[in-house]
């Protein structure tokens, strides 16, 4: 009995704390991987739509895959999707404004479908001029945010993502990596920021939905303790 009393004991909260940290780190990695592959898949599908309509043109020596897309496009889009999908729930926590609007997978899937539809419209629907197309896509993109997000952080991040992504696209086109047919906004098309904004909102919603699993796990462990 005396020997048992002399044995050092860990604090009761040490085990759950270590488990919680491990769970958080593992969930973060899993969410990043899932978001990466979702971004790669969407990049392949959406970029194929743009190439089929000759909206985006890559040099012949760069087209190396059966998807008729430059090899670096899917990994870059996947990485950006992972960063965006992890950033949205992180921003919600820091602002103290948890996003609770339409938090179910059916809503997320509808958001993805609308985003694909907006991208499809930019490549397939013929408008009288680029200004009309840009205004239409801008209205659809804001409508997507209002329907599936409605958060100030989501709108602000969407604007920032659209600005940075458009700037990167301008630099890539300027350096001859690829080009757009009939550019009307410096080196790119004027509707491109609308696509980036809608894409940011979409990946943000997916990231928020994936983050809910981690919150449920932590809540269950806290309830057990």
pLDDT at site 60: 52
Residue in the structure block whose two tokens are 């990466």: 36
β-bridge mates for residue 179, sequence order: 57
First vs last Cα of the chain: how many Å apart?
Answer: 28
- Please state the rounded mean pLDDT for residues 28-40: 92
The average pLDDT across 111-117 equals 92
Return the SS3 of 150: coil
Q: Domain residue spans in the chain?
A: 26-50+71-222
Q: Looking at the predicted structure, is the pLDDT value of residue 57 above 60?
A: no
- For 38, 197, 219, the CA distances from 162, given in Å and listed in that order, are 19, 5, 35
Name the 3-class secondary structure at 116: helix
Q: Give the pLDDT of residue 162.
A: 95
Q: How would residue 15 be classed by pLDDT, with cut points 50, 70 and 90?
A: very low
Q: Which two tokens stand for residue 56?
A: 């985006």
Secondary structure (DSSP) of 117-136: HHHHHHHH---SSHHHHHHH
In the predicted model, what is the mean pLDDT of residues 185-213?
88
Tell me the whole-structure pTM to 2 decimals: 0.76
Residues 6 or more apart whose CB falls under 8 angstroms from that of 143 comprise none
Q: Are 187 and 166 in contact (CB under 8 A)?
A: no
């Amino acid at each position: 009995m005396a020997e048992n009393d002399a044995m050092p004991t860990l604090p009761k909260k040490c085990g759950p704390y270590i488990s919680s940290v491990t769970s958080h780190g593992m969930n973060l990695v899993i969410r990043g991987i899932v978001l990466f592959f979702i971004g790669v898949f969407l990049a392949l599908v959406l970029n194929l739509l743009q190439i089929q309509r000759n909206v985006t043109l890559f040099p012949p020596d760069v087209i190396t895959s059966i998807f008729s897309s430059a090899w670096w496009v899917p990994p870059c889009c996947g990485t950006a999707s992972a960063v965006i999908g992890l950033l949205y729930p992180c921003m919600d926590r820091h602002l103290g404004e948890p996003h609770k609007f339409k938090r179910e997978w059916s809503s997320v899937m509808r958001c993805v479908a609308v985003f694909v539809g907006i991208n499809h419209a930019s490549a397939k629907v013929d408008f009288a001029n680029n200004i009309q197309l840009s205004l239409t896509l801008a209205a659809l993109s804001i409508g997507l945010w209002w329907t599936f997000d409605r958060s100030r952080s989501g709108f602000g991040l969407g604007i920032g993502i659209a600005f940075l992504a458009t700037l990167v696209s301008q630099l890539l086109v300027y350096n001859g990596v690829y080009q757009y047919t009939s550019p009307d906004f410096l080196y790119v098309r004027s509707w491109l920021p609308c696509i980036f904004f809608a894409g940011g909102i979409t990946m943000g919603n997916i990231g928020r939905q994936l983050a809910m699993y981690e919150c449920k796990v932590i809540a269950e462990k806290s309830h057990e303790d």
